[in-house]
Structure 1
Amino acid sequence: MPILKSCLFCFSPRTGSMLSAILSMIISMITACMVIYNLAVSYAKTPLFIYEWAFIIFSIFGITASLLLIRGVRQQNRKYFWPWMVNNVIVIIIVLISILFVASLSTVAPKNGVLLFVIYLIISMVFALFWIYGLLCVISHYQELGLGG
Structure 2
Amino acid sequence: MTNLSLNPEDWIPHRAPFLLIDTLVSIEPGVRASAHWTLSGEEWFFAGHFPGRPTTPGVLMLEAVAQVGAVAVLSDERFAGRLPLFGGVENARFRRQVLPGDTLLLECEMTRLSARGGKGHGRASVNGQVAVEADLLFILADVQ
Q: TM-score, normalised by structure 2?
A: 0.26
By relative contact order (CA 8 Å, sep 6+), the higher-ranking structure is 1
Counting helix residues as a fraction of each chain, which structure ranks higher? Answer: 1
Computing the radius of gyration over CA atoms, which structure comes out larger, 1 or 2?
Answer: 1
Counting strand residues as a fraction of each chain, which structure ranks higher? Answer: 2
